[in-house]
Chain A
Amino acid sequence: MFQNLETIQYLRIVIIKDVETGNTYPIEILPIQHSDYKFLTIKRYSFNWKKEKEKEVYKLIIKGQNDILGLISIETIHAEWRIHIGLLCVSKENVGKAKKFENIAGNLISFVAKIAVKEFGEFACVSLRPKTAIAQHYIDAYKMNKTGATLSLEVPEIIDLINKFEHEK
């Protein structure tokens, strides 16, 4: 069902920013290819992504390049009008104070938010269950709601997030 959903972002430019230079680069978020898995080491991408092969997994790349800067796996729960984020990661060189690019995780979450709104309209929801220690970061950065251990993005905040990560051409 979601094979072509990367396309929904094509009319707006989506970018990441080089922290050092301030330069911005257009990005693409695409379904992962089978051939990508051999590059997805735990050291660089936090998890064993091969275990997600049966799920919907998307990669973030700079347009025209092959290097994967971030990854996200999702599960769509139609009965609840919800998309649950399974795994989310940013490549190792893009985290911490010495990160090269910023906005990678935000763009991935925003991408999933667009899928959710396109599918479920005003009922759209994106959920995530981060460790307690970092939950506050997601609440602050993405205005997520907290329900027990689960964080979620819904209308109206989900719309604000989508708009935040899109830019005029």
Chain B
Amino acid sequence: MRNKTINPDGDPEFGVDSRYTSSMEKEQDSIDLMQARLERMKNLTREEIIRAKLLQLKLKMEEYLKNPDYDNQKHFARFLETYIDIIYTKRNVFAVDLSISPNYLSKIINNHREPNEEFILKLMIHSEKVFKNITHFRKKTWYQIFYQEKLNATMASQDTWRPKIEKEINFKSLNSPF
């Protein structure tokens, strides 16, 4: 029989063996736990669901910033879209709250236009207030995502822009480029 908990010092955190001993035990646990969870989920308020979704978004944004590999995805637009859709039932209302036109917002979300600095500043302040009572949200997150994505795209598309740009660079005034 496995040692379920080794606890020589009276400290319950010394070690917990929580592994299932059989597939039957696991299956039964899955059924019972899911049933209980579904009951508890029924009692979740809209605010609690929004809080969870916003925390999920924040964690995904942080993960992107830590591993910002270029993948041809429009992360800023997707995160923005998710952010708005978590909080608002209509995107137009968000546009009104930010004093921007719904058309401009739509263009940003659909990657037809880059956000200008004023938009990112407004988004930063909006997020700051929304996240205030949920979890810590770094002010510069939106900025970082926007510029990280831009940087990744630029570096990944060197074959396109580099030949032309490189021709315009010379070292005539120097003996050598070192």
Contact = CB atoms under 8 A, between A and B. Distances in A.
Interface in B44-64: 44, 48-49, 51-53, 55-56, 59-60, 62-63
A160 to B, nearest CB: 10
Contact of B16 (A89, A120, A163): A89
Contacts of B62: 7-8, 10-11
B172 interface: no
A99 B17 CA distance: 21
A86 B16 CA distance: 8
B138 interface: yes
B4 A131 contact: yes
B14 to A, nearest CB: 4
Nearest to B134: A159
B56 A121 contact: yes
A17 to B, nearest CB: 14
Nearest to A118: B59
A95 B56 contact: no
B44 A8 contact: no
B136 interface: yes
Nearest to A158: B52
A97 B14 CA distance: 12
Interface-central residue, A11, A127, A156, by most chain B CB under 10 Å: A11
Contact of A117 (B9, B41, B59, B138): B59
B34 to A, nearest CB: 6
Contacts of A99: 11
Contact of A155 (B5, B29, B48, B63): B48
A35 interface: no
B36 A145 contact: yes
Contacts of B4: 130-131
Interface in B7-56: 7, 9-20, 29-30, 32-34, 36-37, 40-41, 44, 48-49, 51-53, 55-56
A92 B52 CA distance: 35
A22 interface: no
B101 interface: no
B40 A145 contact: yes
Interface stretch (A24-32, A59-67, A132-140): A132-140
Interface in A118-169: 118, 120-125, 127-131, 133-134, 137-138, 145, 147-150, 152, 154-156, 158-159, 162-163, 166, 168
A80 B13 contact: no
A155 B135 contact: no
Given A148-B29, A152-B37, A159-B135, A87 B11 contact: no
9 contacts: A4-B66, A77-B30, A87-B19, A88-B13, A90-B11, A96-B11, A117-B56, A122-B52, A122-B56
Given A80-B34, A129-B29, A162-B135, 4 more contacts: A84-B20, A134-B7, A156-B51, A159-B51
Interface of A: 4-5, 7-8, 10-12, 45-47, 77, 80, 82, 84-90, 92, 95-97, 99, 104-105, 114, 117-118, 120-125, 127-131, 133-134, 137-138, 145, 147-150, 152, 154-156, 158-159, 162-163, 166, 168
